[in-house]
Structure 1
Amino acid sequence: MNLRWIQRFDGNSIITSYDIEYKNKSDTWDHKYTTRNISPTNNQANIVELHPACVYSIRMYSFNKIGRSQPSKELTISTEEAQPDGPPMDVILQPMTSQSIRVTWRAPRKELQNGVIRGYQIGYRENGPGSNGQYSIVEMKATGDSEVYTLDNLKKFAQYGVVVQAFNRAGTGPSSTEINATTLEDGKTGGREGGREGECKRERERRAGLVMGGDSYSACNHYYLFV
């Protein structure tokens, strides 16, 4: 952001420098940032590293050989949105039928949204022999912190990879890590959840089966989901 000013009165002593202070509007001045010792020959300065889609308060001081002036009148400015810096979190896949998979996720971390999340793009592709590796994209509006979308008209008993991206007015953010799920065999419903939560849920079921005399199990420590 570029800030310009006019020096109205120098206190009958030559101005030696300026300081600019700025903060989030909701904070007190105890949490300010300061740009110090700006040359008196300048009447403008660039304030950098402001966070997108935030409201800031700004004030200035001038200095001469006697000391520091009173602060200027506070100026309130709003920064523009930027595309999200973080991916959607906690993406989970759950096969529902032989041709559909339910996708659930949470919004990106608040400090990485860089504005108001308007919606999501869900990319999915078949990961089997003969597939072209290209994602098909569907788009939906954001409804809250937790979202759900059902992919349908998929191939029966086929594995699909899914990624999710959030977007705001400024653009689209990074995608979540691809996770996989397989549609059910024909005639079956319900399904197995994809991702770490689903894998651990199945592990708990295997442990329960062991207690009741079921099959042996392997520890749930080989699958990690990074989003």
Structure 2
Amino acid sequence: MAQGLIEVERKFVPGPGTEERLQELGGTLEHQVTFRDTYYDTPELSLMQADHWLRQREDSGWELKSPGASGVSGLHTEYKELTAEPAIVAKLCEVLGAEGLGACSVAAVLGPLGLQEVASFVTKRSAWKLVLSGVDEEERPLRVDLDTADFGYAVGEVEAVVHEEAEVPTALEKIHSLSSMLGVPAQETAPAKLIVYLQRFRPHDYQRLQGVNSSREPTGD
């Protein structure tokens, strides 16, 4: 994903009829893919506690998610995504209070910043795209990802990607409209794969995050 874009998303629990419903709504299955994600943080989870999420996707590279506009609340999440490694390094140094590392690659700063692997798992994904009826075809379609992790957890995500904060409210309207069409209950929430992984396999870390992020659901994905 290009640097500086804003990802607005809502997670939900997919059902056995979700893909059939996507087809009925005119959705297109773009691809099915399997990939491994590995997440990094300090032993104290300093990044995650600051709502920053560092991930290396196999054969895809590094990504750092940072929180979007302040005051965002509700059933959705909003994150800015960085994929250019110099930008990721600069942001990591800012969040962790480090200076003068002089490195442009993420791998080179893992050791100096005390970052280590905290989670790694494989996901099978069916990626769909859909343009809501009546929407200008030139506008970017909504994406719906249906994921199943190798530890047995399944989650869906409706996502819109925008360039400016001013576009977020319209993106949210589309996300909630499509969620309703898919039969997602109005107040339903679903945790991210990483959060469920920590809950099952690193419960101490999970409890640490719950204490910090009790007012919102961290994304992790």
TM-score calculated relative to the size of structure 2: 0.23
Report which of the two has the higher share of strand. Answer: 1
Q: Give 1 or 2: higher helix fraction.
A: 2
Point out the structure with max Rg over C-alpha. Answer: 1
